[in-house]
Amino acid sequence: MLPSMGRDQNAAWFSAHLKSAFTVVEADAPSLQLDLIDVRELGRQPHAPRPDPFVLTFAGPPNRVLDQRIHRLSHPVLGDLEIFLVPIGPGGDARPQYEAVFN
């Protein structure tokens, strides 16, 4: 089992790795690279489960689109993470984009 996302894993934690590559690791498919292209803070929410919500946006290769679900991502510095990714359509470069909201 992978570690869960803690409070120390916030927008700044990911922002330090903006433009870096994450590898999607799936048992039943070849691995695939996603690039972290945006980290956006959503503003403080004092009574929310997570007071510092944020959104990550990834871009993937055009030849394969991931399903909406939890995916295992591996990063050379951040390690292995399980993140719920939602396809949000192609970006300006026609690459499929994915969003992960932490709230």
Q: Domain extents for the chain?
A: 11-102
Collapsed DSSP state (helix, strand, coil) of residue 14: helix
| Among the ranges given (13-27, 42-56, 58-72), the one the predictor scored with the smallest mean pLDDT | 42-56
Measured CA to CA, the distance from residue 22 to residue 11 in angstroms comes to: 16
pTM: 0.87
Phi, psi of 101 (to 5 degrees): -105, 130
Alpha carbons 44 and 55: distance in angstroms, whole number: 13
- How many CB atoms are located within 10 Å of the residue 49 CB? 8
Average pLDDT, rounded, for the chain: 88
